[in-house]
Amino acid sequence: MTGTMLSINQISKSYGPIRALNGVSFDVPQGSVFGVLGPNGSGKTTLLGILLDVLNADAGSYSWLGGAAPADARRQIGSLLETPNFYHYLSAMDNLNITAAIKQRGKDDRERVLKLVGLYERKDSKFQTYSLGMKQRLALAAALLGEPKILVLDEPTNGLDPAGIAEIRELIKTLNQQGMTVIMASHLLDEVEKVCTHVAILKKGDLLLSGKVDEVLRSEDQVEVNAEDQNRLKEIVEGMPLLKSIHSSSNGLLLSFTEKMATGRINEYCMQHGVTLSHLVLKKKSLESKFMELTNF
């Protein structure tokens, strides 16, 4: 990946007393699938609305494509922010013809985008005969008219069954492999983990973390320990190098470290400080647990 497709700097937005976004800043690298992840109400949709000029920010700024003029940048962006809205009695080709006329581009691109989303064989079928997954794919086809460099999606798998979700995920991966940068908002950790290369995590308008998915959403090892005198054990382990956190559990104390820590090293440390462990177990902390802990959701 080279270059930055989107740079966001200290964007804030309030609705009366409600702070929807609070000084959010991050960059979206070229060629990435960038997930904006957070529970409902975290500010994801508000952020996308600002980036697409649907809403005005109270403060902050952003730039597309290295600072391209807004009108030029907008022509390079395809977006899907709402539920697909097409004429039920018209075919895919006719609906895309209307979309192209509104966008003032892409009329000659209809067959290409329908092939891209796997709907070409149903191009003359009425929209009302489509499944939910097919309707969402047609909406993506509409967003892809005119060959944009960037695709912006808000909860692209909302309301779909497992088969429809899988279809959209594979389509996003295919588009990215063909060189498109994709920015997608989602409240689903599993979706971001499986599809995205980068992620920003929002909570009540605040940016918690951002970066590569395999770094931000890396699973953590935890070590569960116990001893006859648990209060003394807690005093001892609080002084351990690289200790990140201590939490009580049903079997003793759960320890997290800033880097991988061998159980033998923990046992040796406790022994050196006069505590004999009666319980020492390595536990894997799931990504879901980490996400829930971050967002308190």
What is the token pair recorded at 55?
């809403």
**E-state strands within 38-177:** 59-64, 77-80, 150-154
Q: How confident is residue 1, by pLDDT bands cut at 50, 70 and 90?
A: very low
Q: What is the pLDDT of residue 160?
A: 83
CB atoms within 10 A of CB 11: 25
> Which residue ranges make up each domain of the chain?
1-76+150-218, 77-148, 220-295
Identity (one letter) of the amino acid at 179? G
Matching residue, tokens 């799931």: 286
Question: What are 228-264's pLDDT values in tens digits?
Answer: 998 999 999 999 988 888 888 878 898 888 777 888 9
pLDDT of residue 290: 64
Q: What gap in Å lies between CA 212 and CA 45, rounded to an integer?
A: 21
Write out the two tokens for 251. Answer: 């079997």
Least confident of 40-54, 107-121, 200-214, 217-231: 217-231
DSSP lists the bridge partners of residue 33 as: 182
> What CATH number is given for 1-76+150-218 in this structure?
3.40.50.300
Residue type, position 132, single letter = L
pTM of the model: 0.77
The topology under which CATH files domain 220-295 is: Alpha-Beta Plaits (3.30.70)
Higher pLDDT, 281 or 296: 281
Q: Within 10 A of 185 (CB to CB), how many other CB atoms are there?
A: 25
More reliable by pLDDT, 220 or 164: 164
- What residues have CB less than 8 Å from 212, skipping those under 6 apart? 197, 198, 199
Pair 172, 137: CB distance under 8 Å? no
Nearest residue to 181 (alpha-carbon basis) of 64, 40, 62, 13: 64
CA 290 to chain centre: 15
Using alpha carbons, select from 57, 77, 72 the residue that is nearest to residue 8: 57
pLDDT at 125: 96
Ranking 22-26, 92-96, 99-103 by mean pLDDT, the lowest is: 99-103
